[in-house]
Amino acid sequence: MTRILVGLDGSAPGERALAHGKMLASLIGDCELILVYVIEWSPYEFHTPQELDERHKRREEELAQAHAHILEPARKATEAEGFKVETVVRHGDPVSILEELAVARGAAQIVIGRTGHRGMRERLFGGVSGKLIATASVPVTIIPETGADQ
Amino acid sequence: MTELQRMSRIPAVLLAVLGLVLMLAASPLAAQEATDPVASEQEGAAPDAVMEETQQGAVVEEPAVETAPAALTIDQKVDQVFASSTGWFVSLIFAPLPGTSFPWIVLWLVVGATVFTLYFRFIQFRAFGHAISLVRGDYSDPNDAGEVSHFQALATALSGTVGLGNIAGVAVAVGIGGPGATFWMILAGLMGMASKFTECTLGVKYRNEYEDGTVSGGPMYYMVKGFRERGLAGGGIMAIVFSIFCILGSFGGGNMFQANQAHAQLSGILGDYPGWITGVIFAAIVFAVIVGGIKSIARVTEKVVPFMGILYVGTALLIIAINYHQIGWAFSQIFAGAFTGLGVAGGLVGALIQGFKRAAFSNEAGVGSAAIAHSAVRTKEPVTEGVVSLLEPFIDTVVICTMTALVITISGVQQIDPETGLFILNDAGMIATTGDVQGVQLTSAAFATGLSWFPYVLAIAVILFAFSTMISWSYYGLKAWTYLFGEGKTTELVFKLLFCFFVIVGAAAQLGAVIDFSDAMIFAMAVVNIIALYCLLPIVRREVNSYFDRLRSGEIRKFGAHAAAE
């Protein structure tokens, strides 16, 4: 069975990636879509002591919200269309999480959407899509903005 | 904890508070002669000493005493009343050992550190590499991503201890004890790592984890639960006494003193202006962070503080590099000074006292504050956090304090008699310096020999360090407060508002006696805490043996990068 990793972000670019993933899956036939949502987090961020002692609670809330608002609605809608779906939510750096998951699950490719607005930081250091293309060990498909989104 | 247990605790709390107040009120006479512990300690060497060293090591000039009673301001009255009722407690805590000028509390901390070092067979050296590996996340379960990491717990605890003591305090130590003090400071810092290890392991082991996912930990919890486990009595009382000391210490050394020194720095840059302005601004920012939960401010500070720390060490290395031909000489001064004193007041003993004192005051090892700070980490193994925490005195004392001392030594601002090779002492018994500066100004002058603009950066660093120390201590105090009065929005708010109020008081007033008292409170925490540590040593040893056995046998392993996605 072929597996395709689709990065969701709770907005239009993620929707486009999912649409493209479904298109590929229906062409392939025996294909599972792994929907991934990454909560940006770094073990090297600094926090106040107060934040640290609430961290576990906040993490649980973040996970519950990601499931409730992003992954579950997407899973329901996609399954309703007859696709096989798995969902994953993780804390960390989106690029390395997507890469690690793709390797671990033996995914054939990663599909993500490109965000329209590019801030100074992204221009300087490259966004998720740029870094993923440079480092991923499986093919990556980047879905650009279409006229319909704008 | 059940409601019943809490109810039964309230009378004990009231009794303890009442007892403390009575003790303080009872002996106003004893206080008259010795309100200033450090000045009395320096008396042997320096009868004219006009400098007064506080716990964090800043040099506070004694305000000129106006003789006419009518001229007393409200501040001074408050200070007088406070001095006469609490001075005895301060002098008790900082009392020198009979026949010496060595404060017993410093010996208490150093002996504790030595006992823990021997008991755990030099854990600070054996586990040093493992500590770095833990901080890098090699042993962190990727499925726990999003939880508090070892690195975060360490960084947050460090931002509470790195501060004025590392910059100004070291200058005072080297100013009195000469470069030789550096040697003893490093030695005490290395020993202190074992104290931190012991208290932080216990802090994590006996923390409370609540249903909503929050945690509370610290000495009060291991005193109660650990003592119960060992079948020892008195844990409950110790926990209450510790909490009272901790709350008062958080208002003083962790707050008023910081606000006071931040104002001193600001008025040094901007020119003199009323302290309450600084106080209100600081209090507003602290309020926004601890009451308002405005994370952006905290996040900015927590990012800038480590940056400042790195900048500080980097600049120090740069200045040392510029004076590379002096490095050998500086180390020979440190070693010669450590064993001969090179003419400083008190000789070898003088250097040793200053070095030990600085290390103990700077890294807070044995005080118990770190056990509160480290409790939030997500780990199944309490020993891992203990191992990580032993890096704290290393970074604080062995690295940062030593940098300050090296720069001062190497800059040559301390005057040496070219004929004898000994230091020239001034009238106050401190080593004479170019421009006659001491304390934070000495550090500033030493850095300015390499980079003339650095004093401005230093001033900003001191202010930021003061702020992050306040945020950390607000948390330590809060944990002690909720231990006594129960967790809940209202009781927590009362503490936080009090804390903000004391920020203003600290910045606005010249309350020397109040600050002395709260310094004494921080060290009083160490008295209770180290007794508890001694009692609980066998429990820590059991944990240590079990953990390192499993580490050796391979039961505890590093997580590979690709295991992350499984």
Give the best residue of A38, A51, A90, A135 to mutate against chain B (max B CB count within 10 A): A51
Give me the residues paired with residue A113 across strands: A143
Per-residue pLDDT of chain A (150 residues; tens, 9 = 90+): 899 999 998 888 888 999 999 999 999 999 999 999 999 888 887 788 888 888 888 899 999 999 999 999 999 999 999 999 999 999 998 899 999 999 999 999 999 988 766 666 555 656 788 888 888 999 999 988 775 444
For B163-188, what is each residue's pLDDT tens digit?
888 888 898 888 888 899 999 999 99
Strands annotated E in B161-310: 208-209, 215-216
Residue B304, helix vs strand vs coil? helix
Question: Residues B14-28: pLDDT tens digits?
Answer: 555 545 544 544 444
Which residue among A50, A51, A104 places its CB closest to the CB of B566?
A104
**Residue B318 class from Cβ within 10 Å (0-12 exposed, 13-18 middle, 19+ buried)?**
middle
Inform me whether the pLDDT recorded for B295 exceeds 80. no
Flag the least confident range among B26-35, B236-245, B312-321, B386-395: B26-35
Closest in A44, A49, A53 to B472, CB measured: A49
Kindly state the tokens that stand for B430: 């401190």
Residues from chain B contacting residue A59 (CB–CB below 8 Å): 146-147, 213
Cα A41 to chain centroid, rounded = 14
d(CA B232, CA B89): 28
A-interface mutation test, from B135, B140, B147, most A Cβ less than 10 A away: B147
Q: Are strands B208-209 and A31-40 parallel, antiparallel or unpaired?
A: unpaired
Contact B149/B140 with Cβ under 8 angstroms? yes
Q: Say if residues B400 and B308 touch (Cβ distance below 8 Å).
A: no
- What are phi and psi for residue A33, nearest 5 degrees? -100, 125
Residue among A45, A48, A100 minimizing CB distance to B561:
A100
Distance in angstroms (rounded) separating the CA atoms of residues B284 and B307: 24
User: Which pLDDT score, from 0 to 100, does residue B458 have?
Assistant: 85
User: What is the rounded average pLDDT for all residues in chain B?
Assistant: 82
Quick check: A47 and B299 CB within 8 A?
A: yes
Nearest to B384 by CA among B144, B155, B205: B205
Q: Which residues of A touch B155 (CB under 8 A)?
A: 46
B239 in Cβ contact with B223 (< 8 Å): yes
Contact by Cβ (8 Å): A58, A39: no
Whole-model pTM: value is 0.83
Lowest mean pLDDT among A76-80, B339-343, B403-407: B339-343
**Interface membership of A24 toward B (CB under 8 Å):** no
CB contact under 8 A, B376 and A90: no
Across the interface, of A44, A52, A101, the residue whose CB is closest to B565 is: A101
Binned at pLDDT 50, 70 and 90, residue B214 comes out as confident
Nearest to B515 by CA among B298, B334, B326, B263: B263
DSSP state string for B388-454? HHTHHHIIIIIIIIHHHHHHHHHHT-B-B-TTT-PBPB-TTSSBPBTTS--THHHHHHHHHTT-TTH
* pLDDT tens-digit series, residues B44-61: 333 333 344 444 444 444
**Residue B158 with chain A: CB contacts under 8 Å:** none
| Mean pLDDT calculated for residue range B303-320 | 86
Nearest C-alpha in A relative to B209: A53
Q: Which residue of B has its CA nearest to A101?
A: B565
pLDDT of the residue at B257: 85
For the segment B223-244, the average pLDDT, to the nearest whole number, is 94
pLDDT of B367 over the 90 cut = yes
Asked if the Cβ–Cβ distance from A52 to B376 is below 8 Å, we say yes
Q: Under a CB-based contact definition with an 8 Å cutoff, are residues B134 and B387 in contact?
A: yes
* Residue B264 binned pLDDT confidence (cut-offs 50, 70, 90): confident
Which band of pLDDT confidence, cut at 50, 70 and 90, is reported for residue B206?
Answer: very high
Compute the residue count for chain B.
Answer: 566
Determine the pLDDT at residue B172.
86
pLDDT tier for residue B193 given thresholds of 50, 70 and 90: very high
The confidence score (pLDDT) of residue B562 equals 39
Q: Is the pLDDT of residue B460 over 60?
A: yes
Over pLDDT 90: what percentage of chain B? 33
Of A145 and B244, more confident = B244
| Contacts of residue B155, Cβ cutoff 8 Å, sequence gap at least 6 | A46, B302, B306
Q: Does A93 touch chain B (CB under 8 A)?
A: no
Q: Is a pLDDT exceeding 70 seen at residue B346?
A: yes
Please count the other Cβ atoms lying within 10 Å of the Cβ belonging to residue A19: 14
| Concatenated DSSP letters of B512-563 | HHHHHHHHHHHHHHHHHHHHHHHHHHHHHHHHHHHHHHHHHHTSS-PPPGGG
How many Cβ pairs within 8 Å bridge chains A and B?
105
Q: What is the pLDDT of residues B419-453, one digit of tens each?
A: 887 888 887 778 888 777 777 788 888 988 888 88
pLDDT for the residue B39:
37
B248 or B272, higher pLDDT: B248
Print burial letters for A86-117: b (CB count within 10 Å at least 16), e (below 16).
ebbbbbbbbbbbbbbbbbebebbbbbbbbbee
Phi/psi class of residue A110: alpha, beta or left (left: φ > 0; alpha: ψ in -120 to 50)? beta
A-chain CB neighbours of B389 within 8 Å are: none
Q: Is the pLDDT of residue B560 over 80?
A: no
| Residue bearing tokens 């720069």 | B407
CA distance B172 to B205: 38
B554 φ, ψ to 5°?
A: 90, 5
Is pLDDT of B566 > 50? Answer: no
| A41–chain B Cβ distance below 8 A for any pair | yes
d(CA B470, CA B480): 15
Indicate the residue of A55, A60, A92 with minimum beta-carbon distance to B148. Answer: A55
